[in-house]
Structure 1
Amino acid sequence: MGGAGKSLGLIRRAALPALALIIVGTFGGHAIAGPNGLLAWGGYNRDLTERRAELARLEAERDALRHRSALLNPNKADPDLGEELIRRDLGLVRPDEVIIPLE
């Protein structure tokens, strides 16, 4: 019975440090390889670069649409743009005309 008591005492003394080591190891593993860990930072930087490029493209598109919208303002509409839109949408083109799109 003396041998069984010694091994039970040894297990009890080793249980708490072993549990602490498992917990620390789990947190350490997630800090390195988890979804928000050190290894994921490269992917985040790549995604950030892609999103910035997409944002720049969308801002340029927005500015172009804003400019075109300003040209269609009823108070000061651009007559050439108005004529272009009417001819294109209503099909009012004479047979001897050649239409050259500017965009």
Structure 2
Amino acid sequence: MVKKRSTLRPMLRRAIAPAALLIVGIFFGGYAIFGPNGALAYGDIERQLAVKQRELAMLDRNRTELKNRVELLDPRHADPDLVDELARKDLGVAHQDEVIVPLDK
């Protein structure tokens, strides 16, 4: 009796490495196309960038306004009109001869 060697087992052993590499390649290729930073997400990334740029522009304007107010309130040379406005607003004081007109917002 002659033992016949199965050809299936050596063939499977030779195919494991290429199959594993193929699976890994498909995974990374799919991630590069469909992933959060992939090719299909590019339009969404551009929209998010535009939103963030508008937010940055608004924050820059607010920062500029606040910087101006801080400079006007510098103790060495404070703007008297701004100091008077803030004191009246925060303390709720008014002169006797002033007329206060409430405005509905």
Decide whether aligned partners of structure 1 residues 34 and 52 sit closer, same or farther in structure 2, where only a CA change above 3 A counts. Answer: same
Kindly indicate whether residue 51 of structure 2 is the aligned counterpart of residue 50 of structure 1. Answer: yes
List, as ranges, runs of 4+ consecutive aligned residues in structure 1 with deviation greater than 4 Å: none
Once the two structures are overlaid, the 10-residue window that deviates more, 14-23 or 61-70, is: 14-23
Which residue does 1:7 correspond to in 2? Answer: 8
Once the two structures are overlaid, the 10-residue window that deviates more, 7-16 or 63-72, is: 7-16
Which residue does 1:92 correspond to in 2? Answer: 93
Deviation at 1:100, TM superposition (A): 8.9
Q: How does 1:33-48 map to 2 (within 5 A)?
A: 33-48=34-49
Once the two structures are overlaid, the 10-residue window that deviates more, 86-95 or 51-60, is: 86-95
Kindly indicate whether residue 71 of structure 2 is the aligned counterpart of residue 70 of structure 1. Answer: yes
TM-score norm. by structure 1 comes to 0.76
Kindly indicate whether residue 27 of structure 2 is the aligned counterpart of residue 26 of structure 1. Answer: yes
Which residue does 1:80 correspond to in 2? Answer: 81
How many Å separate the matches in 2 of 1:99 and 1:85?
17
Q: Deviations over 1:38-91 (max 9, x none)?
A: 122222222211111111111100100111111111222111112212222222
Question: Given residue 81 of structure 2, which amino acid in structure 1 is its aligned partner?
Answer: D
Q: Structure 1: where are the runs of 5+ without partners?
A: none
Identity %: 42
